[in-house]
Amino acid sequence: MVKIVEMRGVKKVYRTKAGEVEVLRGIDFEVNQGDFIAIMGPSGEGKSTLMNILGCLDRPTDGSYLFEGVDVTSLSDRELSRLRNRKIGFVFQQFHLIPWATALENVLLPMIYREGVRKEHVERAKELLERLGLGHRLAFKPSELSGGQQQRVAIARALIGRPSLLLADEPTGNLDASSSKEVMRVFQELNDSGVTIVMTTHDPETASFASKVKVIRNGRFVE
Amino acid sequence: MAGSWSRTFGIAKDSLREILSSKVNLFFMSFGLIVGICAMVSIYSLGKGAEITVYRILENLNFGSNAFLILAGGGKFFGPAATRMDRFKMEDEEAIERFDFVVEVSPVQLGFLSVASPKNAVNTRVLGVLPVYSRINNWGVWEGRFINHEDVRLKRKVCVLGYDTAKNLLGDDPIGKRVRINGVLFEVVGVLEKKGVIGRFHLDERVLIPLSTARDRIFNRDWLNAAKVLLKSNVDFKRAERAIRNLLRKRHNLLRNEPDDFRIITPDQVMEFLTKATRTLTALLLSISLITLVVSGVIIMNIMYAIVEEKKKIIALRKAYGATNRDILFHYTFMTAVVAFLGGTIGSSIGNAIVAVVSSYTPIDGYYSVAFSVLCVLVAVIASVLFGTAPAKEAAKLPPAEILR
């Protein structure tokens, strides 16, 4: 088993005017290649903070975090940007698509920051959109797509750079029941084809698509 | 700035798409620049054009680099005479003419007098001149003939009118008609070619009469108001000026520490005098345009802050997908530079178009300087980039984790 994520004793403390708030209180977490893990828990218990640290968008206050064996806590901002670009794909609850760009252009966004968009990237983006059932919507702007379709564009964007890890933060949070199922089936298919996924959700039905479920409460995983 | 050219190109394209997606922002960001640069280019070009027009007219009057004027009475350039004026005589003019570096001299008696026709009456400058006046000033007749040696010898009461004066007094067919100068009847024998206006000097409003007639029948004095001296083209201007000054001082018996009782006016001084007002006005208007540019910069800065605030999530998303702080800084700086370049180019094009229109409807020459237009666009880009740096830096510093939560 190839270990992608290895976290030991990860803590995150926010300093506010009212004092210190400890959001993560010592997280031990491992993600192996091919995993599909759902992190569940009520709002405000540290799910998003953990996802930000997993996605290298934030740094832990304490503890160690190895990504594919590399200690990410020692990386510079520039190195973290590079790691995010090459190794991690993000899917957000609110899709975060660029409104003036077409579906195809949205998918190609990560490639701009890699080496510039090349012909083979465009081909791959088209293939991904085709695979996700959006082959006929390449030139559509986000406003011309349904919620489910927008989330599928966001998934294609997350996959374009062939990341080691796909992070999905409440991916069905903004979708109706049928779109949610549609998106989850896509995740399941991706996982079946070898994509490693970590997803947060507070919906048990969404979590049921994952092969492992972890519950976070009060900044710690509950066994 | 960015890792490779294709990466930089990709970011630049993304930035361009972003600004083109909001036409309102684009309009407001570039509007101030368009106005500022348009004003700068048109003011500079028209100011410079006005100077060139003056220069062209002076040159047209043969007042180029090898001529100068001697005015009776000492004192400051173009001010009232500070000394007696009655010392500059015909004999002085003849003595100057004997210098081997002098081609010829055109003496003038001058006064502002009432000139009347049955139709109209004007107060205008009346000049007593010799036939050489026409040649030395490169000023021929448009109609009729110029004053000739016979007119001077016989003290004839004939006159040549300036183009506008002829129109004002006698309409379309002035030759052979009579005008009354200071109560004396004169026959109009010619009308001068049109020359135009320099500053507040209307060259086409004048009446020329033979110098002898002026001296004995109109002004009743023997001293001259001025003389124009034409030098040979290869002569050292300074040396010639010094020689004439010494000659006149000697002839007027001036003591060593006594000031000149005449003034030697060079073309440069005239040019300077005539364009000083234009230059001051141009400088003033240019500084106002510069203020416009600063205001535009502040507007750009504010709109950029608004854009950064509005696009926070997209900036955070770009960072999540691998954009570095530098990439974001470049993205927004490039955006400002593009807007400034567009605004500056449009502004300078409109400015040049205004110059073309103004110069086709007025006597002012159009002056088009590619270098100045390019400089204006460059100033616009630099100013805007400077003002846009703060919001771009703020965008670069946005923490993606907090925004994407």
pLDDT band at B276; cut points 50, 70, 90: confident
Cα B38 vs. chain centroid, distance in angstroms?
Answer: 19
**Sequence-ordered list of residues with C-beta below 8 angstroms from that of B371, at least 6 positions apart, any chain:** none
Chain A: give the shortest CA distance to residue B403, in Å. Answer: 11
DSSP string computed for A27-77: EEEEEETT-EEEEE--TTSSHHHHHHHHTTSS--SEEEEEETTEEGGG--H
Reply yes or no on whether the pLDDT at B278 is more than 60.
yes
User: Across the beta sheet with A19-32, what order do the strands follow?
Assistant: A19-32, A3-16, A62-67, A70-71
In chain B, the residue whose alpha carbon lies closest to the alpha carbon of A88 is B321
pLDDT of B50-91, one tens digit each? 878 777 777 766 676 678 889 888 877 666 777 777 888 889
Reply yes or no on whether the pLDDT at B1 is more than 50.
no
Reply yes or no on whether the pLDDT at A133 is more than 50.
yes
Reply yes or no on whether the pLDDT at A138 is more than 70.
yes
Two tokens at A164?
Answer: 């080691």
Distance CA B187, CA A8 (A): 116
Distance CA A80, CA A57 (A): 8
A118·B6 Cβ contact <8 A: yes
Reply yes or no on whether the pLDDT at B174 is more than 80.
yes
Reply yes or no on whether the pLDDT at B256 is more than 60.
yes
Reported ipTM exceeds the 0.95 cut: no
B7·A116 Cβ contact <8 A: yes
Q: Where are the alpha helices (DSSP H) in B75-203?
A: 90-97, 132-136, 149-153, 163-170
pLDDT of B181-224, one tens digit each? 998 999 999 999 998 877 667 889 999 999 999 999 999 999 99
Distance CA A55, CA A81 (A): 10
A90·B320 Cβ contact <8 A: yes
Distance CA B307, CA A113 (A): 21
- A160 CB neighbours in chain B (<8 A) are none
Question: What mean pLDDT is predicted for residues A72-79?
Answer: 91
**Residue B88 near residue B264, CB atoms below 8 Å:** no
| Average pLDDT over chain B, rounded to an integer | 88
pTM: 0.73
Q: What is residue B75's predicted lDDT score, i.e. its pLDDT?
A: 77
Number of CB pairs < 8 Å for A and B?
A: 85
pLDDT band at B94; cut points 50, 70, 90: very high
**Residue B175 near residue B189, CB atoms below 8 Å:** yes
CA distances from B238 to B11, B68, B262, B324 (A): 63, 11, 17, 67
Q: Which helix (H) or strand (E) holds B361?
A: helix B325-361
For chain B, give every domain's residue range: 2-57+272-404, 84-258
Reply yes or no on whether the pLDDT at B150 is more than 90.
yes
Question: What mean pLDDT is predicted for residues B318-322?
Answer: 92
Q: Which helix (H) or strand (E) holds B159?
A: strand B158-161
Q: What is residue B2's predicted lDDT score, i.e. its pLDDT?
A: 42
- Provide residues of A within 8 Å CB-CB of chain B: 48, 52, 55, 57-58, 77-78, 81-82, 84-86, 90, 92, 94, 96, 98-101, 105, 109-118, 157, 169
Two tokens at B127?
Answer: 């000049």
Max avg pLDDT among A91-95, B138-142, B209-213, B290-294: B209-213
| Average pLDDT over chain A, rounded to an integer | 91
**Residue B7 near residue B323, CB atoms below 8 Å:** no
Q: Which of A15-19, A70-74, A102-106, B241-245 has the lowest mean pLDDT?
A: A15-19
B21·A99 Cβ contact <8 A: yes
pLDDT top residue among B140 and B365: B140
Strand partners, A25: A11
Distance CA B213, CA B126 (A): 12
- Strand-strand pairing, A197-201 and A19-32: unpaired
